[in-house]
């Protein structure tokens, strides 16, 4: 087994119409499916896709900067993760789709594209989703 660096713990109750919180209390959110009466009533409610998008964007940006530092390249980056809940025609259930939009300042587009593809190989979220959900990379 790999060496464990740390473990994040969060507990959900009520699913999409409940709440989620981390064991340290930093994260404490009500959850609501967008467009539902609960979501309209609870303006600050989140959903699993927003939480996943936040984690993926932060993780990918870190992987991108790590990849860049190994190549001795310095630039400013910004990653936006668009996580969509999709209808799964195979089982009539649901699935996720992700579009990662990456911006870079003070770097040539070709060089940024190369780093984005390298980061996709090392990012833990990318590894976890590989061959499980469709992830599209966009350099903008």
**Mind listing the pLDDT tens digit for each residue in 27-85?**
999 999 999 999 999 989 999 999 999 999 999 999 999 999 999 999 999 999 999 99
The answer to whether the beta carbons of residues 85 and 49 sit under 8 Å apart is yes
Residues 18 and 29 in one domain: yes
Task: Please report, for the domain that includes residue 85, its CATH number.
Answer: 3.30.300.20
Task: Count CB neighbours of 36 within 10 A.
Answer: 14
Residues 66 and 127 in one domain: yes
**Sign of the CA dihedral running 40, 41, 43, 44:** negative
pLDDT at 1: 81
Residues 54 and 90 in one domain: yes
DSSP string, 4-48: P-----EEEESGGGSEEEETTSS-EEEB--TTSHHHHH-TT-B-H
Supply the range of the domain harboring residue 70: 48-139
3-state secondary structure of 140: coil
- Rounded to two decimals, the pTM is 0.94
- Give the mean model confidence (pLDDT) for residues 75-104: 96
The answer to whether the beta carbons of residues 64 and 116 sit under 8 Å apart is yes
Residues 24 and 76 in one domain: no
Residues 39 and 59 in one domain: no
Please say which residue of 10, 25, 46 terminates a domain.
Answer: 46
pLDDT at 28: 97
User: Per the structure, how many domains does the chain have?
Assistant: 2
87 pLDDT above the threshold of 90: yes
Residues 56 and 122 in one domain: yes
């Amino acid at each position: 087994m790999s060496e464990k660096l740390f473990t994040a713990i969060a507990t959900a109750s009520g699913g999409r119409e409940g709440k989620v919180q981390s064991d340290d209390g930093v994260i404490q959110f009500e959850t609501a499916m967008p467009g539902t009466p609960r979501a309209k009533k609870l303006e600050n409610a989140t959903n699993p896709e927003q939480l996943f998008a936040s984690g993926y964007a932060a993780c990918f940006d870190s992987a991108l900067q790590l990849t860049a530092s190994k190549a001795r390249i310095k630039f400013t980056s910004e990653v936006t993760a668009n996580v969509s809940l999709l209808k799964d025609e195979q089982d009539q259930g649901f699935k996720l789709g992700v579009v990662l939009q990456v911006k870079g300042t003070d770097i040539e587009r070709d060089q940024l594209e190369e780093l984005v593809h390298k980061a996709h190989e090392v990012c833990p979220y990318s590894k976890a989703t590989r061959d499980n959900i469709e992830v599209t990379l966009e350099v903008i």
